[in-house]
């Protein structure tokens, strides 16, 4: 029996730390190659969309229209999922017989496979990481001989930058003030969607509205967000932190604050 046809060895539900080892290797000679790219729900983070739309050389608006479905989460805010092809396999729009055509910019969930983060409030607060190996019966890669640590896999798959970019997003979406209420204000919902996912539109909003006249924004930051999507994304998270959570991601200019106080006094 050849290796590619041998029965998949189940990994079980063992919880792994970054230093623990697991078996896995994916390559084209496996009969299951690209099967994991079909009939699956892939939720996209803001940084996923930033990378993917730039890899395709299209705007964020065009990417969202062509490749995503917009859902509504428990907090009343948008959640973006990759739209699968309308074919028998419900395959990913970027998968080919030779693999992923945007492989270098594939989403976080594709990179981390076959690992699954196992997080709780306790692990989040302690900053500790735990993972399990997904129990995917058809995946022959789990029966391959290659062994590596969780940390090595994360590094090889380019996970660190995704975790770094996700931190400010998680700080907002996992805030208890949002989880304890549902936002129904359409304007707030739209502004959240634009700042998180439609970055090209958010850039126009920042540069063409009064926003930069209202807040103290470093001149170097203003210059960066004109052309740098990563810096624009970081600024968007600061803006949402201020607007949604009432935290000091941004500071209102003193003259604007004084004018507002004067307006209130005159009422």
Same domain, 161 and 186: no
**112 belongs to a structural domain:** yes
For the record, the structure tokens of 48 come out as 């996923």
Sign of CA dihedral 55, 224, 241, 120: positive
Cα distance between the two ends of the chain: 85
Single out the residue in 167, 201, 236 at which a domain terminates. Answer: 167
Residues 213 and 144 in one domain: no
Q: What's the pLDDT score for residue 64?
A: 98
Q: Which tokens in the block code for residue 78? A: 């948008």
| pTM (predicted TM-score) | 0.88
Indicate whether 8 and 95 sit together in one domain: yes
Final residue of a structural domain among 105, 132, 167: 167
Give CA–CA dist 12/211, Å, rounded.
52
Q: Would you place residue 175 in the very low, low, confident or very high pLDDT band (cuts 50, 70, 90)?
A: confident
Is 176 a domain residue?
Answer: no
Residue 19 has pLDDT above 80, yes or no: yes
DSSP for 8-35, written as a single string: PPP-TT--B-TT-EEE----TTSTTTTG
**pLDDT, the chain, mean:** 89
| Residue (of 104, 145, 113) closest to 37 by Cα position | 113
Based on the fold, state whether residues 29 and 67 are members of the same structural domain: yes
Confidence of residue 105 (pLDDT cuts 50, 70, 90): very high
Is residue 177 very low, low, confident or very high in pLDDT (cuts 50, 70, 90)?
confident
Same domain, 15 and 93: yes
Domain count across the chain: 2
Q: Is 23 exposed, middle or buried (0-12, 13-18, 19+ CB in 10 A)?
A: middle
Within a domain: residue 239?
yes
Span 133-146, pLDDT tens digits: 999 999 999 999 99
pLDDT band at 255 (very low <50, low <70, confident <90, very high): confident
Give the pLDDT mean for 92-99: 94
Residue 166 has pLDDT above 70, yes or no: yes
Check whether residue 103 and residue 70 sit in a common domain.
Answer: yes
Phi-psi region of 127 (alpha: psi -120 to 50; beta: other; left: phi over 0): left
Secondary structure (3-state) at 190: helix
The pLDDT value given to residue 33: 96
pLDDT in tens, 191-248: 999 999 999 999 999 999 999 999 999 999 999 999 999 999 999 999 999 998 887 7
The span from the CA of 48 to the CA of 108, in Å, is 7
Same domain, 86 and 210: no
pLDDT band at 13 (very low <50, low <70, confident <90, very high): low
Give the tokens for residue 144.
Answer: 């391959």
Query: pLDDT per residue over 31-79, tens digit each?
Result: 999 999 999 999 999 999 999 999 999 999 999 999 999 999 888 999 9
Q: Is the pLDDT of residue 5 over 50?
A: no
Structural domain of residue 242, as residue ranges?
181-265
**Is 174 a domain residue?**
no
SS3 209: coil
């Amino acid at each position: 029996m050849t290796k590619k046809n041998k029965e998949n060895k189940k990994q079980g539900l063992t919880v792994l730390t970054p230093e623990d080892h697991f078996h896995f290797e994916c390559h084209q000679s496996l009969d299951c190659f690209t099967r994991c790219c079909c009939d699956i729900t892939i939720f996209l983070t803001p940084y996923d969309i930033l990378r993917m739309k730039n890899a395709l050389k299209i705007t964020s608006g065009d990417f969202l229209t062509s490749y995503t479905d917009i859902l509504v989460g428990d907090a009343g805010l948008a959640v973006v999922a990759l739209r699968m092809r309308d074919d028998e396999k419900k395959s990913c729009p970027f998968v080919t017989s030779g693999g992923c055509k945007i492989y270098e910019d594939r989403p976080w969930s594709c990179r981390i496979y076959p690992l699954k983060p196992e997080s709780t409030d306790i692990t989040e607060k302690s900053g500790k990481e735990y993972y399990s190996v997904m129990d995917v019966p058809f995946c022959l890669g789990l029966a391959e001989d290659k062994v590596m640590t969780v940390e090595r896999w994360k590094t090889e798959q380019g996970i660190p930058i995704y975790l770094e970019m996700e931190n400010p997003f998680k700080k907002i979406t996992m805030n208890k003030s949002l989880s304890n209420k549902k936002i129904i204000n359409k304007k707030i919902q739209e502004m959240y969607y634009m700042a998180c996912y439609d970055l090209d539109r958010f850039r126009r909003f920042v540069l063409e509205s009064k926003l930069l006249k209202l807040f103290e924004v470093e001149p170097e930051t203003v210059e960066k967000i004109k052309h740098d999507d990563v810096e624009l994304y970081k600024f968007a998270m600061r803006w949402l932190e201020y607007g949604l959570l009432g935290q000091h991601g941004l500071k209102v200019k003193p003259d604007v604050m004084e004018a507002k106080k004067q307006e209130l006094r005159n009422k």
